Amino acid sequence: MENFIIEGGSPISGTIRAQGNKNAALPAIAAALLTDQTVRLHNVPRIGDVIALLDIISEVGVLVDWTGDDLVINAASIEALPLDDKLCRKLRGSVLLVAPLLFRRQKISLPFPGGDRIGRRRLDTHLLALSALGAEITVGDGVKIAAPRGLRGTDLWLDEASVTATENTIMAAVLAEGATTIYHAACEPHVQELCRLLGAMGANIDGIGTNRLTIVGVKNLRGAEFTLGADYLEVASLLTLAALTGGELLIENASPQYLPMILRQFRRIGLVGEIVGENLRVPKKQPLEVALDFRGVMPTIDDAPWPGFPADLTSIAVVAATQTRGSLLIHEKMFESRLYFVDRLIEMGAKIVLCDPHRAVIIGHSPLHGAKIASPDIRAGMALLIASMCAEGESTINNIEQIDRGYETIDRRLRALGAKITRA
């Protein structure tokens, strides 16, 4: 088991290029299985979750060639099913293979997928949508889904704006017979990028970027070439790290069109980023002070479906608030276990009151000290890395494969910016 050893107190400064969007890469890889022609993806991050999904599709005969951040996928032949149980249980994103394999093989048996342990992550929305499109579903130890007569378009309302359920439904509808209208669809940037990739492959999708998508099914999709946008979650993580350590940073290719709400909420806790063309500049002198709401009321940062503040940045916001002057309420509405990681921050000296599984009051500024801690999930792992960079003394972070799942060679890239971090 590898760990990070971090000596806190060093500002990170310089220039770094944002990695491709992890949450766009996974559905893009799945979408490549909808055609027997070659799909070329650029700016693909070399991270644990992407590697796991490629391992799964390689096991069923899909050809994969990954050079640098360019990924070539050819699914002309899908030889063997069912999917590898052990591999699927490692990765929540394995559920994205349902729609492509239904089209290619008319049936799929899927073990319940794994992923971060941040609370209940239901599959009901996926299954209800696929059932409405004509799939036959049996639930036992895993899920068996069949579409022997193909799928048929329909009007359907998702019972929650689930990102992966929306992506699965889109991939099912683009090759279904007739038209489908998806109401209450998720519209996060990675959903938009999936739609644009499918459009390049010949799909007919209207309403991209909204919560109502209209899709007219086509008979076949073709190969395509597509470039993923930046991972705005990594951009926000790097902004936080530079601001809290007192460094000056330029983040290149930051996909600024996805940053306005994030930057607005970060300004409320004294973190500032400036959009410069396609880049994001983090200035050296930061306010690092909580801005009270009107009439002096303590502010709240809460997550919401896009274009609201992303749930995956809640952990980062908690750490940022410990290093700014003033008090703040964090309200994590989506996952009932995401905030439990604050115990590690309290161990490091943070002043945090965990009110209930969804709400925490953070009282800053809290000097942090080094500690031996473990990463419970991808985003909390990055939050603890940021806390360790701000802390006095040495910290050891265990279970760093969780961080590697979402951040490409983060230790090497941060060392190039002045961080004192080693992988042991």
116 classed as catalytic: yes
* pTM, 2 dp: 0.94
- Quickly count: other Cβ atoms within 10 Å of residue 366's Cβ: 19
Picking from 157, 160, 173, the residue whose alpha carbon sits closest to that of residue 212 is 157
Q: What percentage of the chain exceeds 70 in pLDDT?
A: 97
Asked if pLDDT for residue 114 goes beyond 70, the answer is: no
Taking residues 349-356, report their average pLDDT. Answer: 96
Asked if pLDDT for residue 337 goes beyond 90, the answer is: no
Output the pLDDT for position 210.
97
Would the CA dihedral through 19, 25, 26, 27 be positive or negative?
Answer: positive
d(CA 204, CA 153): 13
- Quickly count: other Cβ atoms within 10 Å of residue 42's Cβ: 13
Contact 56, 94 (CB under 8 A): yes
Confidence grade of residue 119 (pLDDT, cut at 50, 70, 90): very low
Taking residues 321-346, report their average pLDDT. Answer: 92
Asked if pLDDT for residue 251 goes beyond 90, the answer is: yes
Asked if pLDDT for residue 83 goes beyond 90, the answer is: no
Confidence grade of residue 311 (pLDDT, cut at 50, 70, 90): very high
Confidence grade of residue 92 (pLDDT, cut at 50, 70, 90): confident
Output the pLDDT for position 335.
74
Output the pLDDT for position 116.
44
d(CA 102, CA 58): 17
Looking at mean pLDDT, say which of 87-101, 200-214, 295-309, 321-335 comes out highest.
Answer: 200-214
Confidence grade of residue 118 (pLDDT, cut at 50, 70, 90): very low
Of 147-151, 190-194, 198-202, 267-271, least confident by mean pLDDT is: 147-151
- Quickly count: other Cβ atoms within 10 Å of residue 26's Cβ: 25
Contact 260, 244 (CB under 8 A): no
Output the pLDDT for position 117.
47
pLDDT per residue over 274-305, tens digit each?
999 999 999 998 999 999 999 889 999 999 99
Q: Which amino acid is at 133?
A: L
CA distances from 339 to 334, 335, 401 (A): 11, 8, 20
Taking residues 110-119, report their average pLDDT. Answer: 55
Taking residues 227-248, report their average pLDDT. Answer: 97
Output the pLDDT for position 356.
92
Picking from 278, 96, 68, 95, the residue whose alpha carbon sits closest to that of residue 197 is 96
Q: What percentage of the chain exceeds 90 in pLDDT?
A: 81
Q: Which of 69, 70, 84, 116 is catalytic?
A: 116
Asked if pLDDT for residue 127 goes beyond 70, the answer is: yes
Output the pLDDT for position 121.
53
d(CA 99, CA 94): 11
Output the pLDDT for position 418.
97
- Quickly count: other Cβ atoms within 10 Å of residue 67's Cβ: 7
CATH of domain 22-227: 3.65.10.10
Output the pLDDT for position 115.
46
d(CA 110, CA 174): 21
CATH of domain 4-19+230-423: 3.65.10.10
Taking residues 43-61, report their average pLDDT. Answer: 93
CA 70 to chain CA centroid, Å, is 20
**Which residues of the chain form CATH 3.65.10.10?**
4-19+230-423, 22-227
Taking residues 248-260, report their average pLDDT. Answer: 96
Taking residues 314-336, report their average pLDDT. Answer: 93
